Every structure is written in C-alpha cells, then in structure tokens.
Chain A
C-alpha cells in the first residue's frame, strides 16, 4: 500500500491532534516579514525569555510548531499572550529571527480570526487601552484601570495598591482630551 504523505487529499494531523496548515508560516511572513524557516532550534530565545516560566509552550517550540504548520495549537497557546514583547529573543537569536514579531503576528491573526483566547484578560486590557485612545486620544490611567476591572470582573485585585498612588497625586481624576481626536479615530478605523 502506498502512503500518500503530504498529498492534498490526506488531511494532516499534528502530533497534538489539531489539523496542520502548511500555509501558516507564509501567513506569518506576510504579517511581519519574519521567515520562521530560518530557526534552527538552538533554544537561545527560550533561555533568555523572562516570561517562558509562565508559558504553556516554550518560545523555541512555538517556532518549531509554526514551521510544522501547527496553527491551531500555536494560536490556542497562552504563550502568545504572555510574551511581554521585551525583544530579548530577537536581540540574541543567532539566526537573526525576531521571534517577538512572530508572537505579535500570532496575536494579531488570533484576534482577526476571532479565535478563543487562552489569556482573555490580557486581550481585554489591550482592547480597553485602545478604546480609551479612541475616546480621549490619550489614556487616562484611572479610567483605564476602572474599565478594565469592570470587564475582567477582577474588582478587588490591586485596589489596595492603587490607594497610595491616588493619595500621592499620581492618578489624576480628570482625563485630558486631544482636540484632534477625530483624526486619531480615523487612524484607528483604517487600521
């Protein structure tokens, strides 16, 4: 019997059970310009990554899985949301690949495709941040924190920490508005 490896009719299954999408690496390249095939799995990125301890899939594994087209698993990982964007990986990669940009692309693709997000609070925070920018043109930190807490239902976390900040006059009560916020909204809408 002949086994039709890589043929169009055979739906490839990734080792973790999701379907394989060989076009994923191309999609990443189109989004951020990075060629994941350059990665030779040395592990330097993971060794220096400050957030790796909290991720479910290590950064270098994200690269390998992207090479293999394991799109579903990569986009469902917590790793893409726990990447802090610190650029340590991109600075140190001996192959000159910016894994940080691959992480950016994965978040962007996951949001665009409306996928289920493993770390919804991180997304809620960023989303609320941009809503503030759209409303005021700037971010008013007190409003941002309040709105984020409403949406994430984490009302009481850090409230105690916020009190001294407030008393020291660090969190102003009145948001400032940008006069050109119509222009800012246009930029947001187009993007």
Chain B
C-alpha cells in the first residue's frame, strides 16, 4: 500500500517524534509513505481564522501535487489532516472555488485523491490484524487515557472516520497491543490548540482539566495522535498542576510510539528520550507486569 505523505510544519520540529515513529510503524506494516514533493503549509488555524478562501487554497496546492502522484494522502498531524480534508471536501462540492484556485496551480486538484489521518490508516481492521500478528511485547500494565481532542474527529460531517462523541479508534489500537485503556470523560475535549502561544492561560486551564480527569480514572499515561495536544499537555503540566493544586505529572505518548514499542520496531525507543515529560514511569509499569 502506498500513500502520499504530508508531514506539515509541526512534524518537522516540535512533533518530530510523531513523524519519525509514523514512518517506522508504516515500514513495519508494509505501508510505503512518499513525501509530497515541495509541500507547503496547510495554513492551520490561522488561515482558517482570517480568510476562508486561503484556508482552502493552501491545502489545494498539496492536494494537486498528491493527485499527480496518483495516491491518497496521509497527514498524521491532526490540524493538517483537519484542514487538508476540509479543503478536499470543499473543493469537491464548490466547483466555482475549485476552478478559481486551480487556475493558479501548476498541478490542479480535480478530486481524484482523498486525505486520511495516520490514525485512520493504522487502525483500519486489517491493519490492526497486521499489528496483532507482529506483536512481540504486550503492553499490559499500561493504562492509557486515549485522548482524541478535536481536530481528528470534528466536524464529523467532514471527517467522519470515527464517532465524534464516543470515538474508539485509539482505544482499539491500545487494546490490540495489550494495554488497558481507561474509561474517562475528557477524550474528546479541546486542549486549547493553537492558543498555546497567544492565550496560554486558556490552555493551562483546559490541560489541567484533561490531566486531572485522566488521573482520577486511573490512567498512568495519555496517548494522543496530535502534535498540538502533545505540546500543550507536556508543556503546561507544571502550570496546570499549580493552578489546580494537584500533582498532574503524567507521561504523554504518540500512539505510533506505542505501536512501535509493542512490535519492537528497532529505533522507536530513542524518541522516549526527547519527551519533555519523563515517560519512564509508564514504561516501568509495563516492565513490572512482564517480569
């Protein structure tokens, strides 16, 4: 299976572990990822906030290049996935806008390819079977709170690969590798996303709510599929703990890191060292059960 890979700006810097672990897991599962040559930024929340047409036009250039490659797109970053898929749907439905934007593109988008998230690709039933058959290390002892956030599941009319109110894909992936995901209440709440920089007080409040609820329900880590969620949940742990007067220290993983760990994909463990919050307590919880 082959996909056009869209890394986006975050996976080149703050979310590097997510991009690289996605590649390692894809290799292991026999999925070929070919980077979209000369891709540009999807515009993220900023284009979407200030200019609707631009929020469609920026992804359109990438979609056009992907179409010329003749394969569907995988965008692991939740924000890129949301914007790229949103633009795809708009361009399919709004021919006037599509023609206008295509006129400025070297490689036009006609609707021949579609955009998926890495979560969607890796948790398709046949892929989870594939993961199960390659399982070398059961992650028993790991009690993840599976955190979906916003951009992977909403708006369901546009994205729709998982249920917006009771999403299951991350939980299924974690169950497949032997972890024991907890039942909790903040799996689809917002972390404040791009307010991380301009309005950090909002992010501190929201990440505090999320971390606290995960802890109360017995989680020993949070699993995410979004680099913005990762940054907010890791960076704001200290301030959120202070705000709530609770110890909110909690390891945060990308789901691809844990798939890689369970399949013992060489090289995947090296990303643990680059986390801002020590992940060892969660790893130790797995080892304690295995011994």
Q: Say whether B106 faces chain A, with CB atoms less than 8 Å apart.
A: yes
Report B287 CB to chain A, min CB distance, Å.
Answer: 24
- Which of A111, A140, A183 has the most chain B CB atoms inside 10 A of its CB? A183
Given A91, A126, A187, which contacts B58 in the complex, CB threshold below 8 Å? A187
- B195, A178: Cβ atoms under 8 Å? no
Q: Say whether A172 faces chain B, with CB atoms less than 8 Å apart.
A: yes
Cα A191 to Cα B54 with chains together (Å): 5
Q: Say whether B104 faces chain A, with CB atoms less than 8 Å apart.
A: yes
Q: Say whether A139 faces chain B, with CB atoms less than 8 Å apart.
A: yes
Q: Say whether B43 faces chain A, with CB atoms less than 8 Å apart.
A: yes
- B46, A125: Cβ atoms under 8 Å? yes
Given B46, B101, B235, which contacts A129 in the complex, CB threshold below 8 Å? B46
Cα A86 to Cα B77 with chains together (Å): 15
Interface of chain A, main secondary structure? helix
Q: A50-B192, A82-B199, A170-B16 are in contact. Are A184 and B155 (CB under 8 A)?
A: no
Nearest-neighbor residue (CB-CB) of B196 within chain A: A158
Q: Say whether A42 faces chain B, with CB atoms less than 8 Å apart.
A: no
- A180, B40: Cβ atoms under 8 Å? yes
B195 contact set on A, CB distance < 8 A: 82, 84, 122
- B274, A86: Cβ atoms under 8 Å? no
Which stretch of A4-12, A21-29, A62-70, A161-169 is in the interface? A161-169
- A125, B198: Cβ atoms under 8 Å? yes
6 further A-B contacts with Cβ under 8 Å, apart from A122-B199, A161-B235, are: A51-B190, A91-B154, A130-B51, A184-B40, A190-B53, A190-B100
Q: List 20 A-B contacts (CB under 8 A).
A: A51-B202, A54-B199, A82-B195, A84-B192, A88-B150, A91-B155, A91-B156, A125-B198, A126-B46, A130-B51, A133-B40, A133-B43, A133-B46, A133-B58, A148-B198, A152-B198, A158-B200, A169-B16, A172-B12, A183-B106
